[in-house]
A and B are shown apart, each in its own frame.
Chain A
Amino acid sequence: MIPVTVLTGFLGAGKTTLLNRILTEQHGRKLAVIENEFGEVGVDHQLVIAGEEELFEMNNGCICCSVRGDLIRILGRLLKRKDRLDGVLIETTGLANPAPVAQTFFSDDEIRAAFQLDAIVTVVDAKHVAQHLDAGDESVKQIAFADVILLNKTDLVAPADLDRLEARIRTINAVARVHRTQNCAVPLDQILDVGGFNLDRATELDPKFLEPEYPFEWAGAYALPAGSHELAIGRGGDHDHDHGEPGHEHHHHHHGNGNELDVVVLPVQSLHEVELDRARSRAMALFAGEPAPVAGGSVVEAGPARHRLLLAEGSGQFVLEIARPGLHAVFEECGEVPLHIQVAGETVKPQWQEDFHAAHEHNDEVTSVGIREPGELDGKRLNAWMSELLRTKGGDIYRMKGVLSIKGSDKRMVFQGVHMLFDGRFDRPWGHELRSNTLVLIGKNLDRAALTEAFRGCLA
């Protein structure tokens, strides 16, 4: 299969710079270039072909069913040679929606048999992309579809702005590799043959991304004796903020009232991962329930309840009642608010603590949802759910990738999709690897909770 790299990005972002860099540095390989803005690439390269974007709308103009007719024709012609090509680069116009390009590689049997979409590389102008994202135009799709994103022209932007921009890009597309570049200077092994559509990569995702979005931001486990202890919230007194690393940056958002803080305190048997996981799940369930308000100076009892601590100017003192001595996990809604437990005047250090991805308030309606579930899936139920999902939400789901464990098969099911087009197959056996399911969706108006729940419903 001949690898194909698609270069997208707005006009002026640096696509042509990248293209010329690839052609210069890869002169030993037989690469064909299909470009849309002709005349920008060095003409001494013999296999530069000017394409004119021609959409084939297979189904009444539905973009999910559109393919690029010119690519079918040009790629078909590129196969008519005695010697194999080493690769194909496709440059799209600045305003192009990447969907029809990607869909071409799914829907045309001849193209599918001979070519493999290696990666969609999106070049982003770090200085101007924010305004495009605000306008909600095709640049959002170009980022959402990308396997690799070059955050280019970094020299024109302050580092703090770059961090903000990268964080914003991450909320849209959590699985793409992001490189910060000037003049698109990036090692070419990060651009070519990266296997972006290769599903093995779906398991190399940032594990944080795959966690569910917890309704709490911080948890700590303390060894506490039975009795009444002091629970101090806020920066009152001269206490240090004793959880979280110094300088640790939460992507902090104020959750409603700054004078309320919801907590859950649960006894745990041990710090074993199974125990902690059970406590997390219970806390999640409790956070979904109604909170009971607790006025300053009042009692908080350890056990299955969601307490809403009422604060004054962000601080408050409460009494923590512990019935049985032992480890207790405290889940805190907002990780930024200092929380201390004092036993007989001594501050107790947590023996374990964890920061969680909070359910951010996303500004961009295009986001990524990752689901990781251990266990095996029922093939029939998965199929039914997937069909229904693509039928009803296919227009909003830009890309989907995953590695799944299907009951009855000892092989991994790897799949990927673009809008309503979907390609799944069994690859290698699981062997000694732990069977689990990893699924990533990138799209518009995705409901993480509903998707996760529906996916769990497919477990055998």
Chain B
Amino acid sequence: MQLTKHWAAQLDDYVIDLAWSPDGGLLAAASGAGPVRLLGAGDGGARQELAGHAAGTNAIGWKPRSIGAPSQPGHAILATGGQDGAVKFWDGETGQHTATTRLGAGWVEHLAWTQSCLAAAAGRKLSLLNTDGSITHAFPDAPKTITALAWRGAMTGTPPSTSSISASHLSGSLPLPPLLAIAYFGGVRLIDGQDFSVRKELPYANGIQALVWSPDGRWLVSGNQDPSVHLWIPDEEAELQMSGYEGKVKHLAFDHGSRWLATAGGHDACLWDCAGAGPEGRTPAMLPHDSPVCALAFQHDHGLLATAASDGTVMLWSPERKQPLRATVKMPHAPTRLAWSPDDRLLAIGSEKGAVYVLKSDS
């Protein structure tokens, strides 16, 4: 298989987040300094320049398309969260800033969309917002700063390297009731997305860096400071702990089939087989890099895993194969983000020096 350069663009600062619009026509690229650029998927041309957040932007996310609804490219909505404690909403077509919601003094670091609303975390505050910026629900403060958010069965999450799946493979099964997992030092709280009640507390006596649900909603996984990976099956009151990582585990991704869990906390990406009873007692596949792994992303509907390391190396892997390594490319700067386009054909790579590369994968 081949990875070829499709186009490249340059932002003014560190690429802190990347997100493809639901129809795949635009790549939103946020610079840590604040501005967000909407780049055309075909040629990388700047379609819109959004001001973002004055003190810096932290996270971005497109509102997903409703299941079964026809594509409405003109109405894609992008949410951004920043150091100013605000969430802003933007019209993806016109670049128009449509609404601002101030959540307080804390940085807005985590955003996670469902079909209808946006969960936003700022410090210990968690809020659910409508697309017009109004607050549906403001929750009581979490015990500590919220460090990750993940909707069960979500369309897109943040960061993009966590759960990013498309609607197609959920069709045929009933959609899961919305359940939001929030992580903080000390555990994970599961919140009912409809009545906002706390459904479950999952204690974990350390810092949590990342959260991901398996697309089938069975597994909830945290990447931890201690350093380890913790897995819960909330419906079965079961949990597993996988330790032995070199450093804190900041990167997690599940494949679309909910079997392969990719994790990284050091020089290797570590791939766990979560089929059946789960990875306990199994030996993970090690996907080696020469320097610390700094991003992971599975394709939405296909099996490729992209991993990136701080020396600029980006590798593609097929977990099912005996020789899983499929392709290697080297970027001139350390990557920060990986994001597959909705059709899985384009891989966007953000870098520390502000460059955005989009590669085309042809198998």
User: Which A residues form the contact surface with B (CB < 8 A)?
Assistant: 46, 50, 52, 54, 56, 58, 69-70, 72-73, 77, 80-82, 108-110
Within 8 A of A (CB), among B308-358: 336, 352-354
List, in ascending order, chain B residues with CB within 8 A of A50's CB: 105
Within 8 A of A (CB), among B144-175: 144-145, 147
Judge if B248 is at the interface, Cβ distance under 8 Å: yes
Contact A110 B145 (CB under 8 A): no
* Inter-chain CB contacts under 8 Å: number: 49
Contact B207 A69 (CB under 8 A): yes
Shortest Cβ distance from B12 into A: residue? A82
List, in ascending order, chain A residues with CB within 8 A of B353's CB: 82
Contact B13 A54 (CB under 8 A): no
Which of A52, A56, A72, A82 has a CB less than 8 Å from the CB of B13?
Answer: A82
- Counting chain B CB atoms within 10 Å of each CB, the highest count among A56, A81, A108 belongs to A81
For the complex of A and B, the 4 pairs showing the least CB-CB separation, nearest first, are A109-B247, A80-B32, A82-B13, A80-B14
List, in ascending order, chain A residues with CB within 8 A of B185's CB: 54, 56, 69
Number of B residues whose C-beta is below 8 Å from A? Answer: 29
List, in ascending order, chain A residues with CB within 8 A of B336's CB: 80
- Docked Cα-Cα span, A52 to B141, in Å, equals 14
Within 8 A of A (CB), among B27-80: 32-33, 55-56, 58
Give 10 CB contacts A-B under 8 Å: A50-B105, A54-B145, A56-B185, A80-B32, A81-B32, A82-B12, A108-B225, A108-B248, A109-B246, A110-B247
Judge if B107 is at the interface, Cβ distance under 8 Å: yes
List, in ascending order, chain B residues with CB within 8 A of A54's CB: 144-145, 185
List, in ascending order, chain A residues with CB within 8 A of B32's CB: 80-82
Q: How far is the CB of A437 from chain B (nearest CB, A)?
A: 32
- Docked Cα-Cα span, A70 to B206, in Å, equals 14
Q: Digit string of B268-298 for contact with A (CB within 8 Å is 1, else 0)?
A: 0000000000000000000000000000000
Q: How far is the CB of B63 from chain A (nearest CB, A)?
A: 25
Q: How far is the CB of A113 from chain B (nearest CB, A)?
A: 9
Contact B352 A82 (CB under 8 A): yes
Q: How far is the CB of A362 from chain B (nearest CB, A)?
A: 38
Judge if B123 is at the interface, Cβ distance under 8 Å: yes
- Docked Cα-Cα span, A51 to B227, in Å, equals 24
- Docked Cα-Cα span, A77 to B248, in Å, equals 16
Contact A80 B248 (CB under 8 A): no
- Docked Cα-Cα span, A70 to B123, in Å, equals 10
- Docked Cα-Cα span, A50 to B16, in Å, equals 21
- Docked Cα-Cα span, A80 to B17, in Å, equals 11
**Contacts A80-B16, A81-B32, A109-B247 given; does A69 touch B354 at CB 8 Å:** no
Contact B14 A73 (CB under 8 A): no
Contact B248 A109 (CB under 8 A): yes
**Contacts A54-B145, A69-B185, A110-B248 given; does A81 touch B107 at CB 8 Å:** no
List, in ascending order, chain B residues with CB within 8 A of A82's CB: 12-14, 32, 352-354
- Docked Cα-Cα span, A58 to B208, in Å, equals 12
- Docked Cα-Cα span, A281 to B28, in Å, equals 75
List, in ascending order, chain A residues with CB within 8 A of B123's CB: 52
- Docked Cα-Cα span, A77 to B83, in Å, equals 10
| Contacts A73-B147, A80-B32, A81-B13 known; 17 new A-B pairs at CB < 8 A | A46-B55, A52-B123, A56-B207, A56-B225, A58-B226, A69-B207, A72-B225, A73-B109, A80-B14, A80-B16, A80-B336, A82-B13, A82-B14, A82-B353, A108-B225, A109-B248, A110-B247
List, in ascending order, chain A residues with CB within 8 A of B226's CB: 58
Q: How far is the CB of B139 from chain A (nearest CB, A)?
A: 18
Contact A81 B14 (CB under 8 A): yes
Which of A46, A52, A70, A77 has a CB less than 8 Å from the CB of B58?
Answer: A77
List, in ascending order, chain A residues with CB within 8 A of B13's CB: 81-82
Q: How far is the CB of A104 from chain B (nearest CB, A)?
A: 11
- Counting chain B CB atoms within 10 Å of each CB, the highest count among A54, A58, A82, A108 belongs to A82
Q: How far is the CB of A44 from chain B (nearest CB, A)?
A: 13
List, in ascending order, chain A residues with CB within 8 A of B16's CB: 80
Q: How far is the CB of A67 from chain B (nearest CB, A)?
A: 9
- Docked Cα-Cα span, A46 to B123, in Å, equals 20
- Docked Cα-Cα span, A46 to B16, in Å, equals 19
Q: How far is the CB of B250 from chain A (nearest CB, A)?
A: 8
Contact B354 A77 (CB under 8 A): no
Q: How far is the CB of A195 from chain B (nearest CB, A)?
A: 26
Which of B55, B145, B206 has a CB less than 8 Å from the CB of A73?
Answer: B145
Shortest Cβ distance from B250 into A: residue? A110
Shortest Cβ distance from B16 into A: residue? A80
- Docked Cα-Cα span, A313 to B348, in Å, equals 91
Which of A69, A77, A108, A109 has a CB less than 8 Å from the CB of B107?
Answer: A77
- Docked Cα-Cα span, A110 to B247, in Å, equals 8
- Docked Cα-Cα span, A72 to B144, in Å, equals 14
Shortest Cβ distance from B13 into A: residue? A82
List, in ascending order, chain B residues with CB within 8 A of A77's CB: 56, 58, 107
Q: How far is the CB of A420 from chain B (nearest CB, A)?
A: 16
Q: How far is the CB of A77 from chain B (nearest CB, A)?
A: 7
- Docked Cα-Cα span, A46 to B246, in Å, equals 35
List, in ascending order, chain B residues with CB within 8 A of A70's CB: 145
Within 8 A of A (CB), among B92-115: 105, 107, 109
- Docked Cα-Cα span, A110 to B107, in Å, equals 20
- Docked Cα-Cα span, A110 to B225, in Å, equals 10
List, in ascending order, chain B residues with CB within 8 A of A80's CB: 14, 16, 32, 336, 352
- Docked Cα-Cα span, A110 to B292, in Å, equals 10
- Docked Cα-Cα span, A80 to B226, in Å, equals 22
Contact B145 A69 (CB under 8 A): yes
- Docked Cα-Cα span, A50 to B107, in Å, equals 10
- Docked Cα-Cα span, A258 to B247, in Å, equals 62
List, in ascending order, chain A residues with CB within 8 A of B56's CB: 77
Shortest Cβ distance from B144 into A: residue? A54
- Docked Cα-Cα span, A65 to B16, in Å, equals 31
List, in ascending order, chain A residues with CB within 8 A of B14's CB: 80-82
Shortest Cβ distance from B355 into A: residue? A82
List, in ascending order, chain A residues with CB within 8 A of B247's CB: 109-110
- Docked Cα-Cα span, A58 to B224, in Å, equals 12
- Docked Cα-Cα span, A375 to B174, in Å, equals 75
- Docked Cα-Cα span, A70 to B227, in Å, equals 18
- Docked Cα-Cα span, A237 to B113, in Å, equals 96
List, in ascending order, chain B residues with CB within 8 A of A108's CB: 225, 248
Shortest Cβ distance from B145 into A: residue? A54
- Docked Cα-Cα span, A54 to B55, in Å, equals 22
Q: How far is the CB of A3 from chain B (nearest CB, A)?
A: 20
Q: How far is the CB of B159 from chain A (nearest CB, A)?
A: 12
Q: How far is the CB of A205 from chain B (nearest CB, A)?
A: 35
